[in-house]
Each structure stands twice: as structure tokens, then as C-alpha cells.
């Protein structure tokens, strides 16, 4: 029930969406006005009378569930919440709702909503009163309200009441974590330490990672607290083990890691000196886990320090073979992360020699050795490592990756024939390999760059067969790549009609993908009427092709009704838990269930959560244009949170609003709290030096904290993007790769190919990350223009033919 967690999960979009007052209006019925939950200071006689009346059993339906988001009446509340000022938000809520008391059926839901806001504002007595009003057995969310009551009672010093209440929280899967936490917290505050410890141990043994880590640290605190219980040697050692385990597993979570370190220090200090000496250092396995977690979090210096700490324990270090292998593999990855590729290659090569007993680890070591050697410019060493992988682990899923790496290394060595031979053999040697199409395209690209379109077409035809029917599922960055360049080759070879038919197919079947934009631009230039007809045909197909529907039986389930009701009070975190308990978001969930989950949380204003589900788990929408039922699907995948901020900043910098949203989508996926390993922050992922330059003359702050505030980040991000685009007056879209890799690199790439075809210029960007980023942003830019601009513009789907 913690509103902070709710706000984080909602991607802080809740600043606008916290005002959601959802209703399911019937035909001919106007939506009920938003209302205020009664409070000790504001209860009215009609509201008090309504408290005892059960709200009518008006079942919510996902298909017609229409929230009223960001009503003008509540603009001041939305602004306060967006600025994380819950105290002001609560005051604004009182003022805004004072004139509209709740209808009887709305009393409980509005009370729950008010309790959440009051809790965030630190008004615990107010929150308790609101939660009490919502805790009515007739209300579908009484269990959630009861969890809120228990939490507030603990904070108000009424722990015994809280414990009794917590035990009465319903045994529903979505409330299991809240119930355990409430019982443990209330039991500890009430002095029932046995219950607290038993509950926390159960959580540590069975809960998912995030809940388990929190519970483990809470258990360690109880075991070390002399005010809670007699501190024993066994309890202290258990606390030390718990803290160290969390410190290792959650090494990427800075706050948890710091708290775990502090508790481990307290545990050590509490042990007698002889015992302390025996456990002074964490176990090797714990430190290996820590190093791997730090590498995964891209905190490479800390990972290397952890590895060195283990290595210094003895000289030479005496470690179990598997632990030593994992530790040195982590060292190699950390060195590579620091761009010390020579040392990374040497370290990983040693792992490959030492760790042959573990086939998976050995295969990965050989592959990484080849990769790091290539990055260090040691291409002969790279080819050898890749060849060993193929020879010694022919069944490894990395073999096709190694083949492509070896081919590219030979190309760098100038051995064109070997490059061609290795790539040409990939379809037969690795049927089903996920890098086969990529390898064939790299060979075709080499030929296109040299003007050999006939040779490129023969390779592209093979690549298109490898991709087959899975083209659309590759997403906006890759879908249509081989088909588009086949069309280009056919044009160059005089096969105009064949090329036009291919471009038509791409426009029809692969909407708004990066390569569709190129195909549409060329088709429009060659035969505008065919381009328009292709669009119209595809749009009509989408209108007549309904999206997957949610089974009616699912909508009747109590869990789905609770999820929808949670959306009505903008409690998206709780709604997600209900959807998870129904199996709507887990592995193997059917598309119609995933769509139900995505649409439901989107209606709560949790745009990031909904976007993540659609972008990462669903592909059926990618082959249909945004029309009919599919328009909503596309808008879930391409949301517009912080719209007023973006539009204002874009206007001031004379930027296209669709381009700004595209950059935000690719940089942070709409997470205002995003923080990268390169110390980039916020929605548009600004590093401090760049933010400092952008902030000159504006009076805006530009420290880490400020850059996580959407208003500041979007303003400075737009100033930066505009500056980069102005650096390329003849090619403003080159501001996109400049935003990712820096303007100096983009200038160098332009100088190397000053009059290249734009499509080939992008393909030949030497940085894979920047190349992919550029395609994704340009595709997203066109998508946002199509979805949200009032009038359709063919120019909005256009990309330039050449760079200048």
C-alpha cells in the first residue's frame, strides 16, 4: 500500500494519473463528478450516512472501462503530485472536491484514494480515517484498505490493534506480500518478536527477490536489536549472513547495498573477537555473486575492487575451480566495460584455458575472448578464439555469433574471400541461428557499399528467406530490412515494377517500421497514387481485423474486478499484483491476457508499465496499422506522458514534438528516475557536463537530483537536442545519432561519407549502439506523428534520400 512504490511503478506518470476517477458510464449516462473522501475534518452528514450503505454491485468491464484522467478541476492536484509535493496535493484535493460530495456507491473508493494520498503526505491520522471508511466487507478492495489501516496504526503507536487487524487481511495472492509485511511490522512494534521473526523468515525463504531482500534486512535488524530481544551469537551470525547475502545479490541497488553493509558491520561488531576473526571476510561465493551483480549493473570499478579483494586473500588464491572461473570471468567483463580490451582479452583467455570442465562457461569465455580481442584490434586472436568455440562446442547457441564475429575480423584483416566464405556458409551450418540473417545482411551491405547491387541482391534474397514470416515480429528497428534493400537493388537493376510491388508490400505489412519509412518515401517519389493506395488498403485491413478480446469469464473473476477497481483509485502497483495473480503477465500468458493487462494499467496512468508489456512481450500489433481496435494498442506502446511539459519545451526549442517523445522513449522508456552506468539521468538521459552546458542562462538546476525531475530534464534535454540538430543545418536528423554518440563523432561520419544515400549512411555508422538507436528513434518519431498529430502528413512519414 505504500504510495511511494506505487508512484515509482507508475513511472511517476501518476503525477497526471493520480487524479483518475474511473467510472463505467452506461449508455446515456454522464460520468459522475470526482468526489472527496470524508475525513475527520471534512465529513458531512450525507457522507456519514452513506458509510453504512453498500455500493451497488456494478461490475466493471475492461472493454468499457473509461477513466477520466487529468480533469481540469484537478490540475493543481496533478501539478503538486508531479512535483512530489503530496502535502499540497492533499490540500488541493480538499479544495477541488469540497463542492462535490461522493455518491453513495463511490464513498469507499474515494476514501481509499484519499488514504493513499494522505499516507504519502505524512498525514497518518487522516489516512487511517480514510482507510477505515474504505474497509467495508461490501467493498471489493476492503483487503487493500485493511492493509493500509494496519500500516497507519503501527505508525500511530497502536501496534496491538495493528497486529490483530493485519492477521485479518484476506488471504488473496495479490495481498500476500502486504499481509506478511503488516504482520511482521506490527508484531515487532507490539513486542511480539517471535511472530515477527517467524514471519520474516517465511518471507526470506519463499518470497520474490525484492520482497525477500527487504525482509532479510528487517530480520537482521530484529536479530541485532537488544531492545527487541536478547542478542545471541546464533542470531548475530544469522543477521550477518542475511546482510551479506543481500549486499551481494542486490549489489546493483545502491540503497539496499548500503543498508546491508551497515547491518553487516553491526553484526561483526557485536561478535566476540575470536568469532569475529573467523567470519571477518564474506565467503568467496558471496563475493563472486557480488562481483557478477556489479558487472551486470555496469559498476565496473566496484566489480574489479571486489575481485581484487578476493584475489588478495591468499597468494596464489586458493579457490574452488568453479568459483575461480566465475570470478575471473567477472574480472574480464569488468575490464571490457572499462574499455581495457587488451587486459580483458588476456583475462578471459586464461579463463578459457582453466575452465574447460564447465562447457557453458568455457564456451562463453571463448566467445568473450574473441569479442574483446576484436575490440582491442587483435583480429587474428579474435579469429582463433571464435574458431575454437565452433570446434570445441559445436552445439553451443553462440556458434553463429562466433561465426559472424570471425567473418568480420577477417574483413578487418583484409581477407575478403574468407569473410565471404564464412558468411555464405551460415544458413547451412546454423539453420535457425538468430545471427544468420544479420550475417547475410552484413555481406550484402559490403556489396552495396561498393556498388555491387547485383551481388547484393542474390545475398539479400537468401536473407529474406531466412527471416521468412517472422519479419514484423523483429520490431520497428529491423522489420523489412532485407525486403527494402532488395527493392532498392531491383530498382538499380532496372526491375522497376518488381521494386514497386516490394515497396507496396513493406508499406502494407510492416507499418511505421524504420525500413517502411524508406520504402514509403521511395514509393511516394516513384508513384504517389500507389503509395496512398497501399496505406489505405492497410488501414482498412486493420479496421476490419479486431484485436484479441478478453474472455468474458476472466472479467467476472474477483481478481480482475479488484484490479479494475484499483485502477479507479489509481493504485496501479496493486492492480499489477492482481493481474500477476491471475496469470495475465507471467511467462506463457496468452496475447489477449497480456493485452488486457497492458490496457488496464495504461488506463491507470501507468504508461511505462503498459508500454513495457507491449514492447517486450507482444508482437501481433506490429503487423497492423494503427486503425480501429489497433489504434489503442499502438498508443499503449507509444504513450505521451508529461505531454504538456514536452510540448512546451519542444515549442521553445522549435523541435518536433514527435521527435522529443521518440528520444524519451528510447533513452529512458519514460522512467524519470532512470540512471545509467554512464551517469546519465532522467527522461532524456543527460550527463552532468551536458546538462551544465544546456542550463547556462536558464537558471535551471542541473545536479543529479534535479535531472530526475521531468520539468528540468525535458527542458535541458530539448535544448541539447536542438543544439545538436542545428549543428547539421543541411541534415538536421543527424542530430539523432549525435545525441547518442556525440556531435563530433557524427561530424566525422558525415565527413567520411558526405554525399551517401541516407539509408546506407545509417547502416554504416560504426557504433552498433548508435546505429540501432538512430533507427529506433526515427521509427518512433514517425509513429508519434501518425498517432497524435491532428492532421495526417505524408512528410511525417518521410526520411531523406541522401545526406549532404
| pLDDT > 90? residue 765 | yes
Indicate the burial class of 251 (C-beta count within 10 angstroms; 0-12, 13-18, 19 or more): buried
Ordered DSSP codes for 360-409? HHHHHHHHHHHHHHHHTT-HHHHHHHHHHHHHH-TT-TTHHHHHHHHHHH
Question: Residue 68 — φ and ψ, nearest 5°?
Answer: -105, 95
In the block, residue with C-alpha cell 504538456: 644
- Please give the average per-residue pLDDT across 420-428, as a whole number: 97
pLDDT band of residue 233 (cuts 50, 70, 90) is: very high
Nearest-CA neighbor of 197 among 223, 162, 163?
223
Q: Which residue in the block uniquely carries the three cell numbers 494499467?
A: 601
* Short-list 530, 548, 727, CA closest to 62: 548
In this predicted structure, what is the pLDDT of residue 717?
A: 98
Residue 402: helix, strand or coil by DSSP? Answer: helix
**Closest Cα partner for 200 from 185, 192, 189, 164?**
185
Kindly tell me if the per-residue pLDDT of 605 is higher than 80.
Answer: no
Long-range contacts: 204-210, Cβ < 8 Å, 24+? 204/242, 207/177, 207/180, 209/249, 209/250
CA–CA separation, 437 vs 485, rounded Å?
A: 13
Contact, 36 vs 93, CB < 8 A? yes
Residue 588's pLDDT band, with cuts at 50, 70 and 90, is confident
Are the C-beta atoms of residues 368 and 403 closer than 8 Å to each other?
Answer: no
DSSP type of residue 681: E
Strand, helix or coil at 300? Answer: helix
Rounded-to-10 torsion of CA 357, 360, 362, 366: 160
Angle between helices 233-249 and 209-224 (to 10 degrees): 150
- Residue 29: pLDDT over 50: no
What DSSP designation does 68 have?
Answer: E
Read off the pLDDT of residues 274-331 as tens digits, 9 standing for 90 and up: 999 999 989 888 999 999 999 998 889 999 999 999 888 755 555 668 888 999 999 9
The Cα 576–Cα 66 span in angstroms is: 18
What is the spatial distance between Cα 553 and Cα 130, in angstroms, rounded to a whole number? Answer: 33
- The span from the CA of 605 to the CA of 793, in Å, is 29
Q: What does the pLDDT read at residue 318?
A: 56
Report the pLDDT value the prediction gives residue 571, as an integer from 0 to 100.
75
Q: CB of 293 within 8 A of CB of 330? A: no
Give the E-state strand segments of 232-308 in sequence order.
none
Phi, psi dihedral angles at 757 (to 5 degrees): -60, 135
Q: Residue 625: how many CB atoms within 10 A of its CB? A: 26
Question: Cβ atoms within 10 A of the Cβ of 720, count?
Answer: 22
Q: How many CB atoms lie within 10 A of CB 230?
A: 7
Hunting for cell 508512484 — which residue is that? Answer: 7
pLDDT, tens digit, 9 for 90 and up, residues 77-89 = 767 776 678 899 8
Give residue 54's pLDDT band: very low, low, confident or very high (50, 70, 90): very low
pTM for the predicted model, two decimal places: 0.81
Spatial neighbors of 116 by CB under 8 A, at least 6 apart, are 1, 3, 6, 127, 148, 569, 570, 571
- Whether the CB-CB separation of 62 and 599 falls below 8 Å is answered with yes
687 forms bridges with which residues in the sheet? 680
Is residue 355 within 8 A of residue 365, CB to CB? The reply is: yes
In 3D space, the residue among 585, 601, 604 whose CA is nearest the CA of residue 593 turns out to be 585
Q: SS3 for 738?
A: helix
Residue 326 near residue 287, CB atoms below 8 Å: no
Q: How confident is the model at residue 549 (pLDDT cuts 50, 70, 90)?
A: confident
Reply yes or no on whether the pLDDT at 13 is more than 80. Answer: no
Strand partners, 681: 675, 686
Task: Using the Cα atoms of residue 445, residue 450, residue 452 and residue 455 in order, give the sign of their dihedral.
Answer: negative
Question: How many helices (H) and strands (E) in the chain?
Answer: 45, 4
Round to whole Å and give the CA distance between 214 and 220.
10
Buried b (16+ CB within 10 A) or exposed e, 387-406: bbbbeebeebebbbbbbbbb
- What pLDDT is attached to residue 491? 97
pLDDT of residue 39: 34
pLDDT at position 649 over 50: yes
Residue 23 phi/psi, 5-degree rounding, is -145, 160
The grid coordinates listed for 350 are: 586464461
User: What span, in angstroms and rounded, lies between the C-alpha atoms of 370 and 378?
Assistant: 9
CA 213 to CA 622: how far, in whole Å?
A: 38
Confidence label for 55 from pLDDT (cuts 50, 70 and 90) = very low
Residues with Cβ within 8 Å of residue 303, at least 6 apart in sequence: 291, 294, 295, 330, 331, 333, 334, 337
**How far is Cα 580 from Cα 177, in angstroms, rounded to an integer?**
13
Q: Are 186 and 166 in contact (CB under 8 A)?
A: yes
Is residue 25 predicted with pLDDT exceeding 70? no
Euclidean distance between CA atoms 723 and 714, whole angstroms:
14
Is residue 51's pLDDT more than 60?
no
- From CA 749, how far away is CA 767, in angstroms rounded? 11
Q: State yes or no: pLDDT of 68 exceeds 50.
A: no
Residues 114 and 657: their CA atoms lie apart, in Å, by 34
- Identify the burial level of 346 via C-beta atoms within 10 angstroms of its C-beta, where 0-12 means exposed, 13-18 middle and 19 or more buried: middle
Q: Specify whether the CB–CB gap between 154 and 189 falls below 8 A.
A: yes
Q: Which of 79-93, 390-404, 479-493 has the lowest mean pLDDT?
A: 79-93
> Which has the closest alpha carbon to 146: 187, 124, 115, 188?
115
The answer to whether 225 touches 236, Cβ cutoff 8 Å, is: no
Q: Which pLDDT belongs to residue 163?
A: 97
Within 677-763, residue ranges assigned H as helices are 688-695, 704-707, 710-726, 735-741, 743-752, 758-763
Q: What is the pLDDT of residues 729-764, one digit of tens each?
A: 999 999 999 999 999 999 999 999 998 999 999 999
| Backbone torsions φ then ψ of 31, nearest 5 degrees | -65, 140
- Lowest mean pLDDT across 275-284, 346-355, 374-383, 432-441: 275-284
Segment (H or E) for 22: strand 21-23
Cα→Cα distances 508→460, 516, 784, Å: 20, 9, 18
Burial of 104 (0-12, 13-18, 19+ CB in 10 A): middle
User: Residue 675 pairs with which residues in a beta bridge?
Assistant: 681
- Radius of gyration (C-alpha) of the chain in whole angstroms: 29
pLDDT digits (tens, 9 = 90+) for 122-162: 999 999 999 999 999 999 999 999 999 999 999 999 999 99
Phi, psi at 360, each rounded to 5°: -65, -45
- Taking each helix axis from N to C end, the angle separating 528-544 and 514-526, rounded to the nearest 10 degrees, works out to 130
Amino acid at each position: 500500500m505504500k504510495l511511494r512504490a506505487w508512484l515509482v511503478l507508475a513511472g511517476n506518470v501518476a503525477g497526471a494519473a493520480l487524479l483518475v476517477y474511473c467510472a463505467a458510464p452506461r449508455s446515456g449516462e454522464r460520468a459522475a463528478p470526482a468526489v472527496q473522501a470524508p475525513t475527520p475534518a471534512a465529513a458531512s452528514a450525507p457522507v456519514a450516512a452513506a458509510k453504512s450503505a453498500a455500493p451497488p454491485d456494478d461490475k466493471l468491464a475492461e472493454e468499457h472501462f473509461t477513466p477520466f484522467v487529468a480533469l481540469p478541476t484537478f490540475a493543481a492536484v496533478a501539478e503538486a503530485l508531479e512535483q512530489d509535493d503530496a502535502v499540497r496535493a492533499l490540500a488541493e484535493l480538499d479544495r477541488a472536491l469540497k463542492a462535490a460530495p461522493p455518491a453513495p456507491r463511490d464513498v469507499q473508493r474515494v476514501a481509499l484514494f484519499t488514504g493513499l494520498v494522505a499516507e504519502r503526505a505524512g498525514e497518518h491520522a487522516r489516512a487511517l480515517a480514510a482507510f477505515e471508511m474504505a474497509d467495508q466487507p461490501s467493498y471489493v478492495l476492503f483487503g487493500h484498505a485493511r492493509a493500509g489501516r494496519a500500516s497507519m496504526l503501527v505508525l500511530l503507536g497502536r501496534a496491538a490493534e495493528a497486529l490483530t487487524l493485519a492477521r485479518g487481511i484476506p488471504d488473496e495472492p495479490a495481498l500476500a506480500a502486504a499481509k506478511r509485511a503488516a504482520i511482521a511490522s506490527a508484531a515487532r512494534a507490539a513486542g511480539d518478536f517471535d511472530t515477527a521473526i517467524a514471519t520474516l523468515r517465511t518471507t526470506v525463504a519463499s518470497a520474490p527477490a525484492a520482497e525477500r531482500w527487504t525482509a532479510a534486512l528487517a530480520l537482521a535488524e530484529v536479530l541485532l536489536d537488544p531492545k527487541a530481544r536478547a542478542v545471541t551469537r546464533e542470531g548475530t551470525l544469522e543477521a550477518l549472513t542475511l546482510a551479506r547475502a543481500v549486499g551481494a545479490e542486490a549489489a546493483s541497488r545502491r540503497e539496499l547495498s548500503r543498508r546491508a553493509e551497515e547491518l553487516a558491520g553491526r553484526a561483526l561488531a557485536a561478535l566476540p573477537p575470536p568469532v569475529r576473526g573467523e567470519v571477518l571476510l564474506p565467503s568467496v561465493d558471496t563475493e563472486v555473486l557480488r562481483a557478477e551483480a556489479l558487472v551486470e549493473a555496469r559498476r565496473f570499478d566496484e566489480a574489479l575492487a571486489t575481485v581484487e579483494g578476493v584475489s588478495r586473500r591468499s597468494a596464489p588464491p586458493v579457490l574452488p575451480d568453479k568459483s575461480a572461473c566465475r570470478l575471473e570471468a567477472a574480472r574480464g567483463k569488468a575490464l571490457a566495460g572499462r574499455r581495457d580490451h587488451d587486459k580483458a582479452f588476456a583475462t578471459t583467455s586464461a579463463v578459457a584455458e582453466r575452465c574447460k570442465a564447465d562447457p557453458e562457461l568455457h564456451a562463453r569465455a571463448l566467445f568473450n575472448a574473441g569479442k574483446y580481442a576484436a575490440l582491442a584490434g587483435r583480429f587474428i586472436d579474435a579469429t582463433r578464439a571464435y574458431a575454437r568455440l565452433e570446434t570445441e562446442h559445436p552445439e553451443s547457441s553462440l556458434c553463429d555469433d562466433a561465426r559472424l564475429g570471425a567473418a568480420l575480423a577477417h574483413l578487418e584483416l583484409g581477407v575478403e574471400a574468407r569473410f565471404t566464405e564464412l558468411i555464405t556458409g551460415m544458413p547451412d551450418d546454423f539453420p535457425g541461428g538468430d545471427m544468420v540473417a544479420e550475417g547475410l545482411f552484413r555481406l550484402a551491405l559490403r556489396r552495396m557499399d561498393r556498388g555491387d547491387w547485383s551481388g547484393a541482391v542474390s545475398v539479400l534474397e537468401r536473407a529474406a528467406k531466412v527471416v521468412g514470416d517472422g519479419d514484423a515480429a523483429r520490431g520497428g528497428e529491423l522489420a523489412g530490412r532485407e525486403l527494402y534493400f532488395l527493392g532498392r537493388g531491383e530498382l538499380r537493376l532496372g526491375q522497376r515494377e518488381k521494386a514497386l510491388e516490394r515497396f507496396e508490400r513493406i508499406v502494407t505489412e510492416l507499418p511505421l517500421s524504420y525500413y517502411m519509412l524508406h520504402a514509403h518515401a521511395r514509393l511516394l517519389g516513384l508513384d504517389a497514387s500507389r503509395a496512398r493506395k497501399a496505406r489505405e488498403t492497410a488501414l482498412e485491413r486493420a479496421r476490419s481485423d479486431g484485436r484479441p478480446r478478453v474472455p468474458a469469464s476472466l472479467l467476472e473473476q474477483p481478481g480482475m474486478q479488484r484490479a479494475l477497481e484499483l485502477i479507479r483509485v489509481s493504485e496501479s502497483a496493486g492492480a499489477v499484483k492482481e493481474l500477476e495473480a491471475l496469470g495475465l503477465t507471467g511467462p506463457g500468458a496468452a496475447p489477449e491476457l497480456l493485452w488486457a493487462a497492458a490496457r488496464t494499467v495504461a488506463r491507470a496512468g501507468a504508461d511505462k508499465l503498459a508500454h513495457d508489456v507491449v514492447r517486450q512481450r507482444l508482437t501481433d500489433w506490429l503487423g497492423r496499422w494503427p486503425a480501429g481496435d489497433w489504434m489503442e494498442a499502438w498508443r499503449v506502446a507509444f504513450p505521451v506522458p508529461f505531454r504538456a511539459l514536452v510540448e512546451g519545451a519542444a515549442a521553445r526549442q522549435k523541435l518536433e514534438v514527435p521527435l522529443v517523445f521518440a528520444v524519451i522513449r528510447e533513452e529512458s522508456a519514460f522512467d524519470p528516475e532512470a540512471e545509467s552506468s554512464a551517469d546519465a539521468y532522467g527522461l532524456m538521459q543527460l550527463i552532468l557536463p551536458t546538462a551544465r552546458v544546456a542550463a547556462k542562462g536558464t537558471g535551471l538546476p542541473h545536479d543529479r537530483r534535479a535531472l530526475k525531475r521531468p520539468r528540468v530534464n525535458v527542458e535541458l534535454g530539448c535544448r541539447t537536442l536542438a543544439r545538436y540538430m542545428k549543428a547539421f543545418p543541411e541534415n538536421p536528423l543527424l542530430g539523432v545519432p549525435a545525441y547518442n554518440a556525440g556531435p563530433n563523432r557524427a561530424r566525422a561520419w558525415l565527413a567520411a561519407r558526405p554525399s551517401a544515400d541516407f539509408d546506407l549512411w545509417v547502416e554504416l555508422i560504426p557504433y552498433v549502439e548508435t546505429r540501432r538507436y538512430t533507427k529506433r528513434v526515427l521509427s518512433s518519431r514517425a509513429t508519434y506523428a501518425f498517432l497524435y498529430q491532428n492532421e495526417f502528413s505524408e512528410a511525417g512519414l518521410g526520411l531523406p534520400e541522401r545526406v549532404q
